[in-house]
Structure 1
Amino acid sequence: MLDPKLLRAETATIAEKLKIKGYDLDVAKFTALEARRKQSDIDTQTLRAERKSASKKIGQLVGQGMSVDDAKAEVNETLAKIDLQVDKLESEASSIQRELDAWLMSIPNIPDPEVPAGADEDDNVEVLKFGEPKRFDFEAKDHVSLGENKGNELDFAAGVKIAGSRFAVLKGGIARLHRALAQFMLNTHIDKHGYSEINVPVVVNGDSLRGTGQLPKFEEDLFKLIGERDFYLAPTAEVPVTNLYRDEIVNELPQKFCAHTNCFRSEAGSAGRDTRGMIRQHQFEKVELIHFARPDQSNQALEELTGHAEAILQALELPYRKVILCGGDLGFSARKTYDLEVWLPGQDKYREISSCSNTGDFQARRMKARWKNPETGKNEYLHTLNGSGLAVGRTLVAVLENYQNADGSVDVPQVLRPYMGGLEVIS
């Protein structure tokens, strides 16, 4: 959520900045709501002053010859009328504040000054490229064909039978490779990059989703559990891990967490896109990286976090490129995002495998997540960052397609062989 004080002070400037995201701030609505809120506060304060003044009139009335009982009765009648008016104004003020808060919750984060202008992913700006796209002396297969060739170890028909479309069953060597990738990512981030491993629920409540910005705007992308309780399946470990510090005050920053979880997304906005294969599934696994940072260190923390995700791709020797998202492609909560896009020979293109974002204090304001600044002694909003390090299923796709051989077998990357019992080829 944006800082309401900043929004009041710099309404026009913020409106202009949000245009980079393709968002038109309704300045007239905000101005009208603010005017109603201010007038309600003024009217309430005026009545309270009248009440204070009226309560002192008993002595004056007695001094004018009125009996004490009659004076009290007259003053109490006046106070009762004022109290009714105050109650009405306070109720109206609460209603206005709820409307204002709900509207503020719908406004996206302000983009960082480094975010380039642009309408969509075609306008993202490449900042780095690692490796060269794989070229084979045979016709490259995509991961679906490779999985079918290997005794149907990547079984989409079974996923449809068990659950429905956009689900898959992994078997044998491919299932083991998938597990090896997750273990390799966890060990690398924990042992080499200094993350604390954390295991969190994949069922989250509405407050958690509101805290990180998925609610109320993106409810159609979520799987909501049926029942009286406000439960959802987590779309990413960003939600439960970031909410660790909801309504908390942290004494030490920075803090870094790493979580391996299943993730669930309805993909409501992707009808007809990536219906073949594992690129866009309803259920998938990710190794998620979360940073809680000091405000003056969050820009550097984003570079560090992104570098940790890149280190996995480099160790696997997978060609990729790094892009900074333009305003039109930037997420609701993010102020700056790097996407890592891995080369997929089966599609002959780069595809996103990780998004690494700095949300500044946007999520922290929604969650009331603060830290005690030792320099000021005050409680201030901390900064939150998140990124995939990496999406396990998409990394599996990349390994299968980049390490394939003409006979349909797949070489196991060198760094994964210790996790595969020394296996060198899945054949």
Structure 2
Amino acid sequence: MLQIARIRADKETVIQGLKKRNINAKDLIDSVLSLDEKRRQTQANFDNSKAEMNRYSKEIGQLFKSGEASKANILKEKTTQLKEQLKVLEQSLTETTNELQELLYQIPNVPNVIVPEGSNEEDNEEVFSSGDIPDLDSEALPHWELAKKYDIIDFELGNKITGAGFPVYKGQGARLQRALISYFLDKNVAAGYTEYQLPHLVNEASGFGTGQLPDKEGQMYHVTADNLYLIPTAEVPGTNIFRNVVLNESDLPIGITGYTPCFRREAGSYGAHVRGLNRLHQFDKVEILRVEHPERSYTALDEMVDHVKSILEELKLPYRILRLCSGDLGFTSALTYDFEVYSTAQKRWLEISSVSNFETFQSNRLKLRFKDADGQNKLAHTLNGSSLALPRVLAGILENYQSSEGIEVPEVLRAYTGFDFIK
């Protein structure tokens, strides 16, 4: 959520930044500032009336002590009127604050200046690529066919048990999945991230804290009886560790990592682009999160990008990095880099990671602050990234490492799987 002080101080820059997202926000920003002015004036009137009533109360006590009951009773009538006035002001303040909050929830983050302008994913900017695309023979299969051939992932069984988008991993497929999770976690811990085991359900406050609510409630599974939500990513419980927390400046930076299953109610569609592991309602992901000082959060973003690059280099998968354009940028993000692995059998790129800097957008919602050297509370910056999402990484491994002999396991994973080939 954008800070109201930022909007007041830099209205035109905010409007122009949102225009980059193809949003004409002038009327919305004007409404926000109008409500903010009303809220501040109402708060001032409330504070003045309360101070006046407190002053009268002291005078009433003194007048009764000095035997001036008639003057005291006159003031008592005034305090009665002030009490009624305070009730009206308090109700107006609550309503105005809530209305202002609802408007602020509608405003996405302002893109960083280096975010390229564009309307959709076709306008994203490729900033890096690495790895050679394997030259597969004409018999090469997409991963859903390989999964069936080697009996390692059963999509039909998952459909029977739950529904489409809930695959069952079997035998060597399950072990390869577990190997990837362990490898990702070990890499993240070695890079300085502290491992957490996080809840798979969160409350409404956590959803609002990281920006999934009210923007993405239609994409989240909702346990209505308890008003809890299945997590769409470990970002939500992980970042909410720091909700309503005031850190010391010396505590920064903070980095955490965690493995969780993730649940997303994405709208169903058909075709090869969503077949197999390409789009799931339940999938596994290892996440990295950082809480940073505002002065070094973009250095931290570069470090996170380099870290994910190092993992893909070790897996020896062909990949590229995209800087998302303004029209493809997530609601909460100021700058996002997407990683895509090349699926040789499908002949297309598959997104496997997003690494984002949210600046103060999440921390303002979370009330995540740190105390600087002068003792002032300031909002921290939050960042997160997939390190990595498993389904499409697994799809890339199955397709790019296939041969007539079977599917070779990337060398870096063999200590985790205990086997070199899926045959």
TM range (shorter): over 0.9
The alpha carbon displacement at 1:56 in A equals 8.5
Q: Structure 1 389/68 Cα, relative in aligned 2: closer, same or farther at 3 Å?
A: same
Aligned amino acid, residue 411 of structure 1: E
Instruction: Give the alignment of 1:373-388 within 5 angstroms.
Output: 373=372, 375-388=373-386
* CA offset digits 1:231-272 (Å, max 9, x no partner): 11111011111111111122311111111111111113x544
> Is residue 246 of structure 1 aligned with residue 243 of structure 2?
yes
Q: Structure 1 241/38 Cα, relative in aligned 2: closer, same or farther at 3 Å?
A: closer
The alpha carbon displacement at 1:20 in A equals 1.5
Which residue of 2 is the match for residue 290 of structure 1?
Answer: 289
Q: Is the Cα contact below 8 Å between 1:237 and 1:288 reproduced in 2?
A: yes
Which residue of 2 is the match for residue 44 of structure 1?
Answer: 46
Q: Is the Cα contact below 8 Å between 1:141 and 1:345 reproduced in 2?
A: no
Q: Is the Cα contact below 8 Å between 1:140 and 1:346 reproduced in 2?
A: yes
The alpha carbon displacement at 1:58 in A equals 7.0
The alpha carbon displacement at 1:132 in A equals 2.4
Q: Is the Cα contact below 8 Å between 1:371 and 1:381 reproduced in 2?
A: yes
The alpha carbon displacement at 1:93 in A equals 1.2
Aligned amino acid, residue 42 of structure 2: S
* CA offset digits 1:18-66 (Å, max 9, x no partner): 121233321332233134324423543564576577668879999xxxx
Which residue of 1 is the match for residue 202 of structure 2?
Answer: 204
Q: Is the Cα contact below 8 Å between 1:134 and 1:345 reproduced in 2?
A: yes
Q: 1:391 pairs with 389, 392, 395, which one?
A: 389
Tell me how far apart the structure 2 counterparts of residues 31 and 382 of structure 1 sit (CA, whole Å).
24
Q: Is the Cα contact below 8 Å between 2:32 and 2:104 reproduced in 1?
A: no
What's the RMSD between the two structures over aligned residues? 2.2
Tell me how far apart the structure 2 counterparts of residues 249 and 60 of structure 1 sit (CA, whole Å).
43
Which residue of 2 is the match for residue 28 of structure 1?
Answer: 30
Q: Structure 1 157/387 Cα, relative in aligned 2: closer, same or farther at 3 Å?
A: same
Q: Is the Cα contact below 8 Å between 1:368 and 1:381 reproduced in 2?
A: yes
1:303 is paired with a residue whose SS is helix
1:328 is paired with a residue whose SS is coil
* CA offset digits 1:180-214 (Å, max 9, x no partner): 111111112212x1221111111111111111100
Aligned amino acid, residue 88 of structure 2: K
Q: Is the Cα contact below 8 Å between 2:262 and 2:284 reproduced in 1?
A: yes
Q: Is the Cα contact below 8 Å between 1:58 and 1:68 reproduced in 2?
A: no
Which residue of 2 is the match for residue 370 of structure 1?
Answer: 369
Q: Structure 1 174/75 Cα, relative in aligned 2: closer, same or farther at 3 Å?
A: same
Identity among equivalent positions (%) equals 40
Which residue of 1 is the match for residue 280 of structure 2?
Answer: 281
Tell me how far apart the structure 2 counterparts of residues 196 and 284 of structure 1 sit (CA, whole Å).
22
Which residue of 2 is the match for residue 78 of structure 1?
Answer: 78
> Is residue 111 of structure 1 aligned with residue 111 of structure 2?
yes
The alpha carbon displacement at 1:395 in A equals 1.0
The alpha carbon displacement at 1:97 in A equals 0.7
Instruction: Give the alignment of 1:58-137 within 5 angstroms.
Output: 68-137=68-137
Which residue of 2 is the match for residue 217 of structure 1?
Answer: 215
Tell me how far apart the structure 1 counterparts of residues 51 and 288 of structure 2 sit (CA, whole Å).
53
Q: Structure 1 95/143 Cα, relative in aligned 2: closer, same or farther at 3 Å?
A: same
* CA offset digits 1:99-135 (Å, max 9, x no partner): 1012212211111111110111110000001012222
Q: Structure 1 406/81 Cα, relative in aligned 2: closer, same or farther at 3 Å?
A: same
Aligned amino acid, residue 145 of structure 2: S
Aligned amino acid, residue 417 of structure 1: R
Q: Is the Cα contact below 8 Å between 2:63 and 2:69 reproduced in 1?
A: no
Q: Is the Cα contact below 8 Å between 2:60 and 2:76 reproduced in 1?
A: no
- Segments of 5+ residues of structure 2 without an aligned counterpart are none
* CA offset digits 1:390-413 (Å, max 9, x no partner): 111211111001001136x21111
> Is residue 415 of structure 1 aligned with residue 399 of structure 2?
no
Aligned amino acid, residue 390 of structure 1: L
User: 307-316 or 19-28, which moves further after superposition?
Assistant: 19-28
Q: Structure 1 50/258 Cα, relative in aligned 2: closer, same or farther at 3 Å?
A: closer
Aligned amino acid, residue 227 of structure 2: D
The alpha carbon displacement at 1:86 in A equals 2.0
Aligned length: 417
Q: 2:229 pairs with 202, 223, 232, which one?
A: 232
Which residue of 1 is the match for residue 327 of structure 2?
Answer: 328
* CA offset digits 1:361-411 (Å, max 9, x no partner): 1111111111222x323222111110001111211111001001136x211
Q: Structure 1 53/125 Cα, relative in aligned 2: closer, same or farther at 3 Å?
A: same
* CA offset digits 1:160-182 (Å, max 9, x no partner): 11001111111111111111111
Which residue of 2 is the match for residue 307 of structure 1?
Answer: 306
Which residue of 2 is the match for residue 168 of structure 1?
Answer: 167
- Segments of 5+ residues of structure 1 without an aligned counterpart are none
TM-score, L = length of structure 1: 0.92
Tell me how far apart the structure 1 counterparts of residues 270 and 107 of structure 2 sit (CA, whole Å).
28
The alpha carbon displacement at 1:216 in A equals 1.2
